[in-house]
Amino acid sequence: MRNLATCLFCILTSLLLLGCGNSDEPAIKVDEAKVPKPTDESGSVQLAKQDFTIKFSAPSPAWSVKISEIWVVGEEIWVISDLSKKDGMAAQVITEISDSVTVEAPKIGVVYYLVGQTGGWKPDVPGVKLILNKDQIAAGLEKGFQIWPKS
């Protein structure tokens, strides 16, 4: 009897190892549509054409704004604009000034910096950070890379 039990054990083990009774159907069915797809791990980032615009009211037409640089810094895009005033006299008429550029950039948050002296008035531009010079953000720029203009 002992030999018979050993023999049956060997036969069953062999059948299991050989996959006897195994069909092409998987033991567990998975809905492929519900399985999350892996992210792109190539290190590349999807870029899209985006418009970056700065627009606000100035106390006279002597003032102008010009987007000078666009950087990717961490998980943000930094749009740096220069504020300047022409020398000489100008009418004291509230004037809307603006600048806009279109750039291929990643779809991430945007921070606008306005660089320059305002002569006592502050532009009312929600979300725009007014700085006197780029030295104030130099540490961040050192960690990022410039995407516009291409150098």
The conformation of residue 16, written as its DSSP 8-state character, comes to: H
CA torsion sign for 34, 35, 36, 40 is negative
Q: For each of the chain's 151 residues, which pLDDT tens digit applies?
A: 555 556 556 565 555 555 555 555 555 555 555 444 444 555 677 899 999 999 999 999 999 999 999 999 999 999 999 999 998 888 889 999 999 999 999 999 999 999 998 778 888 888 899 999 999 999 999 999 999 998 6
* Unique residue bearing structure tokens 């921070």: 111
pLDDT at position 130 is 93
CB neighbourhood size of 128 (10 A): 17
pLDDT at position 151 is 67
Is the pTM of the predicted complex or chain greater than 0.75? no
In angstroms, the CA 63 to CA 116 distance is 11
CB neighbourhood size of 121 (10 A): 11
Give the SS3 label for residue 137: helix
Q: Judge whether 134 and 115 are in contact, CB under 8 Å.
A: yes
pLDDT at position 35 is 45
* Residue 94 backbone phi and psi in degrees, to 5: -60, 125
In angstroms, the CA 94 to CA 128 distance is 19
